Amino acid sequence: MDELQRPGGELASRPLHFFWVVDCSGSMISDGKMGIVNNAIQECIPAMESEADNNPNAQLLVRALQFSTGASWITASPVPVESYGWEPLEAGGVTDMGKAFELLAAQLSIPPMPARALPPVIVLLSDGQPTDDYKKGLEKLKKLPWFKKSVKIAISIGRDADDDVLVEFTGNRELVLQANNPTALVKMIKWASTTASMVSAPSSKPVNVDDASNSDGLAGSGDPFAPANNSAPLILDMSNIPNPDDFDEGAVW
């Protein structure tokens, strides 16, 4: 990672951080949802690696965060996708989504985020409603330039998921993907993981580390995306988002 900080370093070496944020509350036990999530993400890793190989402007780094009663990092440090292995999650407890947002916010500040990284990708999966003060954690996220410019995708699992909360997170209802049966859930996870691995920032330039060192992560001298830095937002191809109506088969959650 030291090479990433060198002045004049190759643009192709700039890291693209990908975060899985997964609901592991007790309701994920029903209908085998947790097992489907585990299997789908594991099966998507080779596809993510393949797509990352075709994205010459980024080095894809992956990590995972779970939340139920409390929240914790499954992968505490970013791992290159070619070395990444999914650790199966177990369901149980309540839905402390706000705790997950607070842990995520701590990782989207500078430091620990490297100033020369591309804007991150965050995929949130949930099948229920937050049981803690999620707004407090979400407000912390919304103050961070890294979060503002990130690609945010949410997968709404079943009819009990709180889509309004997920829209608050993504800021875009179109990026709240509906998964109301096993087939749809697998397809949505595959789309989110592989499409996000192909995001690009064609005109972005390296960020000056000194200009991005403000610890609160707010706009101004600490904003790595201020106009003076000429850092373009990521471009996500939304033309092929799966239609949940195409997967209306079998039991509906």
Report whether 171 contacts 197 (CB < 8 A): no
Q: What confidence score (pLDDT) does residue 252 get?
A: 74
SS3 annotation, 88-115: CCCCCCCCCHHHHHHHHHHHCCCCCCCC
Residue with the bigger pLDDT between 4 and 146: it is 146
Nearest to 119, CA basis, from 81, 153, 147, 77: 147
Q: What confidence score (pLDDT) does residue 56 get?
A: 77
Worst-scoring range by mean pLDDT, 3-17, 35-49, 79-93?
Answer: 3-17
Q: What is the mean pLDDT of residues 85-103?
A: 97
Q: Indicate whether 84 pLDDT > 60.
A: yes
Domain ranges of the chain: 11-247
Q: What confidence score (pLDDT) does residue 192 get?
A: 92
> SS3 of 181, please?
coil
Give the torsion sign (CA, 47, 187, 174, 245). positive
Worst-scoring range by mean pLDDT, 54-63, 222-231, 238-247?
Answer: 222-231
CATH for the stretch 11-247: 3.40.50.410
Q: What is the mean pLDDT of residues 214-235?
A: 42
Residue with the bigger pLDDT between 233 and 21: it is 21
Global pTM value? 0.82
Maximum alpha-carbon separation in the chain: 55
pLDDT band at 58 (very low <50, low <70, confident <90, very high): confident
What is the overall mean pLDDT for the chain? 82
